[in-house]
Amino acid sequence: MRRSMQWLTWLLCPAICLLLGSEAIFANGCPPSYISGPEQISRSDSRNQLLQPFKRGDKIYLSLKDCIGIALKQNLDIDIINEKLVQANEDISIAFKSMLPSFGAEASCIRFDEDMIFSFGPASLTFIEKNTCKAGIIVRQPIYMGGRLKANLKATEHIRDAQSNKKLAVQKEIKFQVIRIYHMSKVAEKFHKVASEGVELLKAHEHDVAIMVREGAIPELDLLRTRTGLANAQKDLNSAKNALDLSLSALKNVLYIDLESPIILTEDSSYLPRPPQDLPEFVRLALKQRPEIAALTSRLAAAKEALKAAKGEYLPIIALEGRYEYMEGDFRDIDGDFHWTVGFGAQLPLWNWGQIRSKVRKTKSQVEEVKLILKKVKEGICLEVRQDYLNLGKAEKNIIAAKSAIATAKEAYRLARAGYQAGVVTNTDVLDGHTALLRAEVNLSQALFEYNLALAALQKATGVTIIN
């Protein structure tokens, strides 16, 4: 019996420790208690409103779908990306407005040491007085910028698209982590139930053994061994209870629920049918639908537009400019009057010590860098899909084997108890039968957890909707 409960603990504890060490537990950043001030009050009020529909009395009842919805609404990573989307949209607005005419005002006043006078024999002309002033409005419209403005606009649009796809990727990762922790909690719940049932079975067996010892049918050593096994089973039940509390705390932390709030998970781990697609089809869908690939594709397009903008600096800048000004003190109207001017201006870089060439080389390198990252991500996705697909098949086979083992173990344990009462088998046979039954039940729970986890991982890896 001791071996059986040790086996149960060995299965449970590493899984819980792995879960508690995962970054997913702190996917929202710091736990709620680490946030102070007005932000804590605001988020606390919002959290209470969000959880209100799920409260019954002092407990919170949550299905897997409920947990996913809560996590997506409260996750700080999504809030951060939403702010980046706001910034990206403003960058688009800035790039677009740089193509429109600009309006400004200009004023100046200059004092010379003397009037500028040109003499023509006995005649003279005052060209500029000592005090010269002007003020007016200016309108400038870029006509040709070497394609830079259009390229910058397209680049900002691609960056915005990359952020949108990044948001989808974060949402999928959050959903996967919630599914993983939810099923992990259900496994811990099942382990606790199995450990409880194991204690109850041993108590019943101890009762039978005690009666047989009093009747002198068996030696008292059998009773001592049974009670030792019962004490060990009770100890392992305590470990299973602690593991359940830890897994539920991890889930509450991801959902930003107060750690002291009791929650009830209403949805049991079920055996969902595997999707009909084969491995090549899953790989094709992943390469087509993964938001990470879409985000990198947008980044690549933005880098190419940045390259166009950098090359555009070799070309001239042409702009239209119009002025309407009041001038006083120059030859056009010494006494002061309003004047308008319209004209074109052009600017062409002739020598800047290779700055433009360096910009072009840098942006070319950035394009190649994104291409390499995209290639690496695609290769990683292909491997990820293959691993998840194979894990799904393995877990499915384990479920079938575990169900068969449970039926056999139950019958073997029943026969062992009956044989022990009849005096044809030993106490060790009963304890071994009990160990086999516990192991079979734990194996089924573990296989079901691995199957659901593989389904969720395959859904995240391919974009195929399996778990809503």
Residues across the chain: 468
**Rounded Cα distance, 117 and 96, in Å:** 48
Does the pTM exceed 0.85? Answer: no
Q: Where are the domains of the chain?
A: 2-100+147-314+353-462
Of residues 11 and 468, more confidently modeled: 468
Cα–Cα distances in angstroms (integers) from residue 109 to residues 17, 112, 151, 326, 438, in the given order: 76, 10, 40, 12, 96
Cα–Cα distances in angstroms (integers) from residue 21 to residues 189, 246, 247, 266, 272, in the given order: 19, 11, 11, 25, 28
Instruction: Work out the pLDDT band at 125, boundaries 50, 70, 90.
Output: low
> How does pLDDT run across 134-185, given as a tens digit for each residue?
788 988 888 888 888 999 999 999 999 999 999 999 999 999 999 999 999 9
Instruction: Work out the average pLDDT over 210-226.
Output: 84
> How does pLDDT run across 272-306, given as a tens digit for each residue?
778 888 899 999 999 999 999 999 999 999 999 99
Of residues 461 and 112, more confidently modeled: 461
Closest CA to 182 of 452, 455, 459: 452
For residue 113, what pLDDT is reported? 62
Closest CA to 85 of 164, 148, 6: 164
For residue 251, what pLDDT is reported? 92
Bridging pattern class, strands 59-62 and 263-265: parallel
Say which CATH architecture domain 2-100+147-314+353-462 belongs to: Up-down Bundle (1.20)
Instruction: Work out the average pLDDT over 420-442.
Output: 80
Distant-in-sequence, close-in-space partners of 305: CB < 8 Å, separation ≥ 6: 151, 152, 154, 155, 158
Q: Residue 325 in contact with residue 136, Cβ under 8 Å?
A: yes
For residue 436, what pLDDT is reported? 85
> How does pLDDT run across 326-360, given as a tens digit for each residue?
877 665 555 567 778 888 888 888 888 888 899 99
